[in-house]
Amino acid sequence: MIKPSALPRYNRVLLKLGGEGLAGKATFGIDPDVVNDIALDIIAVKSKYNTQFAIVVGGGNIIRGDAASKRGMDRVTADYMGMLGTVINALALQDALENRGQPTRVQTAISMHQIAEPYIRRRAVRHLEKGRVVILAAGSGNPYFSTDTTAALRAVEIEAQVVLKATKVDGVYDADPVTNPKAKRFARLDYLDLINKDLRVMDHTAVTLCRENNIPIIVFDLAHGGNLEGVVAGKQIGTLVGPPPA
């Protein structure tokens, strides 16, 4: 297992990218400029610190299985469609990274050999050790499980030191900061706070997996310049979710 060092604080990270973040200001699809900006941030941090990046992408910019099921679609079918949406996003991110010289591998939980490798834990770890960015798509391959849960599961499997949850806001708040200007941002929370306060940053299964395996979660705004580097370097950015201080 990789041990943390002083700089960077995290040498192997699991970055969770929501699909909505890839759409930019739009409500649907992929904004190539946004994807390129994300790729540049990842490459800059990787070049400076040699950080190992595994990335789990969501598919909410294309279809959300739970939302589609509430409108009459079979839930299992809708969830599989959502998994395929994550593959589209993964290929877009792979393209942006490799166009800038960063070796990348896409691994999927659903077999589709023409465009990606199957997810194999030992192979994923080997890619990371060789300096490749590994993009993990198609969720866990199972309906009813979110990509947040996939992020937590994969983080445990590859022995990542932290889950970096990229959002459109700068941390976890006690209310929606978009609609409530008096919303309070938390600098630090215990895992159980997310569950007991029903803060809905990640689903309960994902939080429980991280709690049981002592993997911290950092919720931060990826779009703010320098935040990804700052988080990897151990700066106090966003909200840290973890065990209570000793």
Q: Is residue 245 assigned to a domain?
A: no
Q: Is residue 7 assigned to a domain?
A: no
The kind and range of the H/E element at 69 are helix 65-70
pLDDT in tens, 90-122: 999 999 999 999 999 999 999 999 999 999 999
Look up residue 61 and give its DSSP letter.
T
DSSP β-ladder status, 117-118 and 133-137? unpaired
Into how many domains does the chain fold? 1
Instruction: Name 61's Cβ contacts closer than 8 Å, sequence gap at least 6.
Output: 19, 20, 21, 22, 23, 28, 29, 30, 85, 89
Q: Is residue 243 assigned to a domain?
A: no
Is it the case that residue 233 has pLDDT exceeding 60? yes
Which range among 159-163, 192-196, 224-228 has the greatest average pLDDT? Answer: 159-163
Domain span holding position 143: 12-236
Q: Is residue 2 assigned to a domain?
A: no
Task: Report whether 213 contacts 232 (CB < 8 A).
Answer: no
Max CA pair span of the chain: 51
pTM of the model: 0.93
Question: According to the model, what pLDDT value does residue 145 have?
Answer: 94
The backbone torsions φ and ψ at residue 216, rounded to the nearest 5 degrees and listed phi first, read: -70, 155
Is it the case that residue 205 has pLDDT exceeding 50? yes
Q: Is residue 246 assigned to a domain?
A: no
Q: What is the CATH number of the domain that holds 174?
A: 3.40.1160.10
State the Cα–Cα distance between residues 52 and 2, nearest whole angstrom: 10
State the Cα–Cα distance between residues 142 and 160, nearest whole angstrom: 22
pLDDT in tens, 153-165: 999 999 999 999 9
